[in-house]
A and B are shown apart, each in its own frame.
Chain A
């Protein structure tokens, strides 16, 4: 469903991604690990379409509904409408915009783009409350401004609520586990597992093996210096946990 070929990208003239190759098929879970500053968040934002990053060369093709799209040609909101979802490492606070309004608008924009009827306030309220159960989120969060004053862990939970509402085709979770307490990690991982389907795929960016105990990856990649320098199965994550990155980043 996702085919990244020799992707080079930069910001403000500084090259960050230096030839990424990655292939993701429906139903798969890919974990991306790697040292701080290696380009993991950059890759995720480029896939989601952040306009500040420059793609210098390479290609990304994305298959949805049996149709191949040149992902790099689409605007960020079009990618989201076609099922790409990024859970941010640092979710943004939106003062004055309520979580409910944000989620509803988001959901309805996707409905609109797919030619499906939009939900009114009442119907959406019912719908979203079901989804909140999946991440065990209290009702009060619905009418607070998006992420404003949320604790680190609450913000991450809110990201997964959005994922549950939008039901994405390809989810990229950027360090969703960072900042979660032990119980929250379990709840959210179980939530993600419930949302997993054979037709969908997940890319998990993480520093910790812990998360991968809950959400089993099919592949583990090590991103370092803007390149994927090693790919293995879940045992690679365990090895990294024991030995760190030094032994592969030579």
Chain B
């Protein structure tokens, strides 16, 4: 899309009094396009800001009932607006303006658009809550939502973020999370996207000394999801542990764009991203671990593993390291495979037919990620959703 055309289209999503600021802030920034390293593999043709007619409407009460995780406070948004009547009131919401977000580190016009849009900009103040489920319902054309969260010193929080989107929608989310000294955040996320739904998240997480960020993400539906995650390790002994699973069919696309920046000595990070692909689906693992000159004693592991069920599915995997420090331990890699004959035979030799064996192996493959979810209810959500979707897959030993 041409820049002028893009600017023309997006005007309708920016309040008039914000337009000037948006234009000046975004002036120097590019549009997302294939020439940009960070948008190289995600087809930008989907990023169209023309108005589209919407026909499907979500029944929020019903959906909420289905998705609600016991024991957690809940914040419901619909198309970028908080639904106070459906949310619990333990979490205080503080209105923010665009300039409260880290505009200087944004990379494209699109990132800036979200914070200047009509979508809400909020700080979540979780003084009285330790566990929050954030459910985003998306059933109208374009939407934007932005939030910030600070996790105070030595506080431990749990966030479970769900995305439910119907066909022909496009939603953008910007989130900024700061973990203070010794703070802990367990972040879980799951999505249910219809085939032509698109969701784009731009998350950045900053960690101070001895802070812990642990994330487990599961995407299992045929929509298009680009999850951009930037983690800044700004304090020694901080640890980021990131895990994700994708189960993709039809024309699904999941793009994990990850930047982990080791800015200080002796911080550690770990990424394990795995998935199964069928149909014409596409997984893009685009992960960069950056180790600054002063970040001695960094320990970083990065691994992407995928299993292909069809030749028409595609995996693009780019585990990358950029190391400027000495004395670091960094490992990265990627594997692509199908099921292993000898594993299947082991099942068969124990009276278990091939089909059952393959299903059990696939569940085991996913469980390597899901088992990282410490919350039992959420773990069950992940597993149940996987089993439900996977029951529609045809399994065989796919020789690559």
Interface residues of A, Cβ cutoff 8 Å to B: 45, 48-52, 75-77, 80-81, 85-86, 88, 91-92, 94-97, 101-102, 105-106, 109-110, 113, 145, 162, 166
A109-B343 in contact (CB<8A): no
- The CA-CA distance from A101 to B367 in the complex, in Å, is 13
- The CA-CA distance from A187 to B365 in the complex, in Å, is 34
A101-B360 in contact (CB<8A): yes
Q: Mark B347-379, 1 if CB is under 8 A from A, else 0.
A: 111111110100011011111100100000000
Closest A-chain residue to B348, C-beta based?
A76
B353-A109 in contact (CB<8A): yes
B324 at interface, CB cutoff 8 A: no
- The CA-CA distance from A105 to B354 in the complex, in Å, is 13
B366-A96 in contact (CB<8A): yes
Distance of A136 from chain B, by nearest CB (Å): 21
A77-B343 in contact (CB<8A): no
- The CA-CA distance from A45 to B363 in the complex, in Å, is 26
B350-A80 in contact (CB<8A): yes
Extra contacts besides A96-B365, A166-B350 (8): CB < 8 Å: A92-B345, A94-B346, A96-B371, A97-B361, A106-B347, A106-B352, A109-B356, A113-B351
Distance of B366 from chain A, by nearest CB (Å): 7
- The CA-CA distance from A97 to B371 in the complex, in Å, is 12
Residues of B within 8 A of A113 (CB): 351
- The CA-CA distance from A101 to B345 in the complex, in Å, is 17
Question: Known contacts A94-B364, A105-B352, A109-B352; is A51 also within 8 Å of B345 by CB?
Answer: yes
CB interface residues, B 315-348, toward A, < 8 Å: 341-343, 345-348
B363-A77 in contact (CB<8A): no
Distance of B367 from chain A, by nearest CB (Å): 4
A77-B364 in contact (CB<8A): no
A96-B368 in contact (CB<8A): yes
Give the top 7 A-B pairs by smallest Cβ distance, nearest first.
Answer: A96-B364, A76-B348, A80-B351, A106-B350, A92-B346, A96-B367, A97-B364
Question: Known contacts A96-B363, A97-B361; is A49 also within 8 Å of B348 by CB?
Answer: yes
- The CA-CA distance from A60 to B363 in the complex, in Å, is 36
Residues of A within 8 A of B342 (CB): 92
Residues of B within 8 A of A86 (CB): 349
Residues of A within 8 A of B367 (CB): 96
Residues of B within 8 A of A92 (CB): 342-343, 345-346
Residues of B within 8 A of A75 (CB): 348, 353
A95-B364 in contact (CB<8A): yes
A80-B364 in contact (CB<8A): no
A110-B351 in contact (CB<8A): yes
- The CA-CA distance from A109 to B353 in the complex, in Å, is 8
CB interface residues, B 44-63, toward A, < 8 Å: none
A48-B349 in contact (CB<8A): yes
Residues of B within 8 A of A48 (CB): 345, 349
Question: Known contacts A76-B349, A166-B350; is A52 also within 8 Å of B341 by CB?
Answer: yes
The 21 sampled A-B contact pairs (Cβ below 8 Å) are: A49-B349, A51-B345, A52-B341, A76-B345, A77-B348, A77-B351, A80-B352, A86-B349, A88-B349, A92-B346, A94-B343, A94-B361, A96-B364, A97-B364, A101-B360, A102-B360, A105-B356, A106-B352, A109-B352, A113-B351, A145-B364
Distance of B21 from chain A, by nearest CB (Å): 50
Residues of A within 8 A of B360 (CB): 97, 101-102, 105
Residues of A within 8 A of B354 (CB): 77
User: Interface size of B by Cβ–Cβ distance < 8 Å?
Assistant: 23
B365-A50 in contact (CB<8A): no
CB interface residues, B 289-320, toward A, < 8 Å: none
A77-B366 in contact (CB<8A): no
Distance of A129 from chain B, by nearest CB (Å): 19
A109-B345 in contact (CB<8A): no
- The CA-CA distance from A158 to B375 in the complex, in Å, is 31
A81-B351 in contact (CB<8A): yes
Distance of B167 from chain A, by nearest CB (Å): 33
Partner of B345, one of A50, A85, A97, A105: A50
Closest A-chain residue to B357, C-beta based?
A77
Closest A-chain residue to B364, C-beta based?
A96
Residues of A within 8 A of B349 (CB): 48-49, 76-77, 80, 85-86, 88
Distance of A153 from chain B, by nearest CB (Å): 19
Q: Mark B233-277, 1 if CB is under 8 A from A, else 0.
A: 000000000000000000000000000000000000000000000
- The CA-CA distance from A175 to B348 in the complex, in Å, is 20
- The CA-CA distance from A75 to B345 in the complex, in Å, is 10
Distance of B56 from chain A, by nearest CB (Å): 36
Closest B-chain residue to A48, C-beta based?
B349
Residues of A within 8 A of B365 (CB): 95-96
- The CA-CA distance from A166 to B356 in the complex, in Å, is 18
Closest B-chain residue to A162, C-beta based?
B350
Distance of B12 from chain A, by nearest CB (Å): 48
- The CA-CA distance from A121 to B353 in the complex, in Å, is 20
Closest A-chain residue to B341, C-beta based?
A52
Closest B-chain residue to A101, C-beta based?
B360
Give the one of A45, A102, A110, A113 with max B CB within 10 A.
Answer: A102
Residues of A within 8 A of B352 (CB): 77, 80, 105-106, 109
Residues of A within 8 A of B368 (CB): 95-96
Residues of B within 8 A of A106 (CB): 347, 350-352
Give the one of B346, B349, B352 with max A CB within 10 A.
Answer: B349
Distance of A148 from chain B, by nearest CB (Å): 10
Closest B-chain residue to A91, C-beta based?
B346
Residues of B within 8 A of A162 (CB): 350
- The CA-CA distance from A145 to B342 in the complex, in Å, is 16
- The CA-CA distance from A106 to B350 in the complex, in Å, is 6
Residues of A within 8 A of B350 (CB): 80, 102, 106, 109, 162, 166
- The CA-CA distance from A50 to B340 in the complex, in Å, is 13
